[in-house]
Amino acid sequence: MQDFLGLPVAASSHAGDIDQMIVLIHWLMFVLFAGWAIYFIYVLFRFRRSAHPKASYTGAKGKISKWIEGAIVVIEAVLLIVYAVPAWAKRVAQFPSENEATVVRVVGEQFAWNIHYPGADGRFGRTDVKLVAPDNPLGLDKTDPNAKDDITTINQLNLPVDRPVLVHLSTKDVIHSFGLYEMRVKQDAIPGMQIPVWFVPTRVGEYEIACSQLCGLGHFRMRGFVTIQTAADFTKWMADQQKEQRGGN
């Protein structure tokens, strides 16, 4: 079933759980679809006009439909309680600590993803909406000592492999949705909220950030890139960014 569904490559540690659930749900839907289709064809034949010129108004008498309905309710409850709720609980019950994770802010706007790294000090510089300008889309206060080593990019998210990532997700304008299909991550970005999202990337490679909420006329081009690198490559990339954005300080 999984190959048949054509899911994108699984590139995070929890992707297997999500895929397993998607496969089980599709099996259930397949059985229901086939069951209904067979029943429909049976009914067309069984109650054809030539065999039943006069309609019967008593309806079905057997108990089988009740049993089938009951079984479907039980299967759906199992999918929900055994698979869906625990998978969600794992995402939201406990977040990795900031020391063991790569921490990054992602801020959506019409129509781009702003990425903000705290730099070596691990602290995000202050941001202020009054400072937002074309060359400072995050409104970063460059006089704040914590901002001195911060790195910002637009539509380019680099992350090291096999290390938890903690994203603080927000948006400057409307509702966007941070969609990393290969990581099986999707979270709405809501104005006025900072929402934590975490995952562990497990495959080095190039992926995309898709905005998964229709957010305006330019929604189609709200597309960012994710580069999952080895720890060494990531450190080097970060150093290069420091040089580029801070003139080597």
Alpha carbon distances (Å) from 79 to 10, 69, 238: 21, 15, 42
Is there a contact between 178 and 169 (Cβ–Cβ < 8 Å)? Answer: yes
Q: How far is residue 95 CA from its own chain's centroid? A: 16
| Stretch binding Cu ion (CB under 5 A), from 71-79, 138-146, 165-173, 221-229 | 221-229
* Angle at alpha carbon of residue 241, lines to 177 and 153, rounded to 5°: 20
Q: Which of 176, 199, 200, 228 binds Cu ion (CB under 5 A)?
A: 176
Q: Is 189 helix (H, G, I), strand (E, B) or coil?
A: strand
Nearest to 229 by CA among 148, 158, 132: 158
| Stretch binding Cu ion (CB under 5 A), from 125-133, 161-169, 196-204, 222-230 | 222-230
Is there a contact between 102 and 163 (Cβ–Cβ < 8 Å)? Answer: yes
CB-nearer residue toward Cu ion: 157 or 215: 215
The span from the CA of 66 to the CA of 182, in Å, is: 40
Q: Which of 115, 169, 215, 226 binds Cu ion (CB under 5 A)?
A: 215
Q: Which of 211, 226, 228, 238 binds Cu ion (CB under 5 A)?
A: 211
- The answer to whether 159 contacts Cu ion (rule: CB under 5 A) is no
CB-nearer residue toward Cu ion: 108 or 118: 108
- Relative to beta strand 165-171, strand 102-109 is parallel
CB-nearer residue toward Cu ion: 140 or 211: 211
CB-nearer residue toward Cu ion: 18 or 215: 215
Is there a contact between 104 and 170 (Cβ–Cβ < 8 Å)? Answer: no
| Stretch binding Cu ion (CB under 5 A), from 94-102, 120-128, 170-178, 228-236 | 170-178
| Stretch binding Cu ion (CB under 5 A), from 58-66, 132-140, 171-179, 238-246 | 171-179
CB-nearer residue toward Cu ion: 118 or 179: 179
For Cu ion, the binding residues (CB under 5 A) are: 176, 211, 215, 222
